[in-house]
Amino acid sequence: MNVVIRPDEADVTRYAYEFLRDRMNRKRYRVLGLPTGSTPLRLYRAVIDGFKRGEVDFADVHTFNLDEYLGLPPDHPQSYRRFMETNLFGQINIKPENINFLSGLPRDIEEECERYERAIRELGGIKLQILGIGRDGHIGFNEPTSSLASRTRDKTLTRETIEDNRRFFERDEEVPRWALTMGVGTIMEAREVLLLATGRAKADAVAAMIEGPVTTMCTASALQMHPRVTVVIDEAAAAKLNHDDYYRWMADNDARMVGYLEERRRRFLTGDSAQPEAAQKQ
Ligand code: PGA
């Protein structure tokens, strides 16, 4: 895992936006997996601003959202579909037919989930999957004890998740107890993953994901088995990490690696035996 620790939320957002912009423009990623929640909300604001500046173009981009509450119609004020329309899709140039969502009111749950998996496959898979993390370590709505091989399916939410989502609904009984979500196995097939977390409330989940064992008790820990994961967090979310010194050290040194290697190669090829500064220190 590439662990990036930034001072605050604003820096996490800036890093995440630049990461996404780079992948869209330089690597030509055209199929994105998107999350909802308060953490990605800041990223979406940055994306809208970037779109207005002409830095990102969604004309031929396809999106797949991670999850949707079961029982809510698409235009329900708290549906994830509505969240995405309001906070991103309605303000960029994405084509409505390129937006993929799980239905909150499917006729047949199994068929709906299979349709979603098929749609992802038919577009050649998700290139960049953006994720948040729940306090219980969930990604998507893959709550603790979800199989790490799970595919898109229905899931009963934990009381903790329902409580976390309570703030968006007027009455307790309105908070959905079930959702359809991409599985951990579905998420693991994305070519690249960018996970964002900010705030102290996420510190335990972040530590479990990065430094804990791979376990269904923290489904985000499955990302340890993914070859291309970047986790970008603020200082508060990094507070429970044991090896944060190493992640910072790694970030400093990674930035110097290319220059160092070029210098070594140049000296080797020109027969100049003097050692560059970084090597002398070893
Ligand atoms: P949040 O949700 O960004 O609103 O904290 C994250 C999640 O549950 O995935």
String of DSSP letters for 72-132: --TTSTTSHHHHHHHHTGGGS---GGGEE---SS-SSHHHHHHHHHHHHHHTT--SEEEE-
Q: Is 226 exposed, middle or buried (0-12, 13-18, 19+ CB in 10 A)?
A: middle
pLDDT value of residue 173: 80
SS3 33: strand
pLDDT value of residue 3: 97
Distance CA 10, CA 176 (A): 31
From the CA of 116, how far away is ligand 1's center (Å)? 22
pLDDT value of residue 174: 84
Nearest to 65 by CA among 80, 53, 51, 85: 80
SS3 162: helix
Ligand 1 site: residues with CB under 6 angstroms? Answer: 35, 37-39, 132-134
pLDDT value of residue 272: 82
pLDDT value of residue 276: 56
Q: In angstroms, what CA-CA distances link 239 with 10, 17, 26, 203, 256?
A: 17, 23, 33, 6, 26
Q: What is the number of the ligand 1 atom nearest to the C-alpha of 35? A: 9
Distance CA 112, CA 119 (A): 11
The backbone torsions φ and ψ at residue 216, rounded to the nearest 5 degrees and listed phi first, read: -65, -15
Using alpha carbons only, what angle is made at residue 113 by residues 110 and 114, rounded to the nearest 5 degrees? Answer: 85
pLDDT value of residue 170: 85
SS3 138: coil
Using alpha carbons only, what angle is made at residue 35 by residues 29 and 38, rounded to the nearest 5 degrees? Answer: 130
Query: Which pLDDT tens digits describe the chain residue by residue (282 residues)?
Result: 999 999 999 999 999 999 999 999 999 999 999 999 999 999 999 999 999 999 999 999 999 999 999 999 999 999 999 999 999 999 999 999 999 999 999 999 999 999 999 999 999 999 999 999 999 999 999 999 999 999 999 999 999 889 888 888 888 888 899 999 999 999 999 999 999 999 999 999 999 999 999 999 999 999 999 999 999 999 999 999 999 999 999 988 888 998 999 999 999 999 886 665 555 554
Nearest to 58 by CA among 89, 86, 37, 85: 89
pLDDT value of residue 277: 58
pLDDT value of residue 167: 85
Pocket test for ligand 1, best of 43, 44, 133 (most atoms within 8 A of CB): 133
Distance CA 25, CA 2 (A): 21
From the CA of 277, how far away is ligand 1's center (Å)? 44
Do 46 and 17 form a contact (C-beta atoms < 8 A)?
Answer: yes
Active site residues: 67, 136, 138, 143
Residue with tokens 């967090």: 233
From the CA of 161, how far away is ligand 1's center (Å)? 9
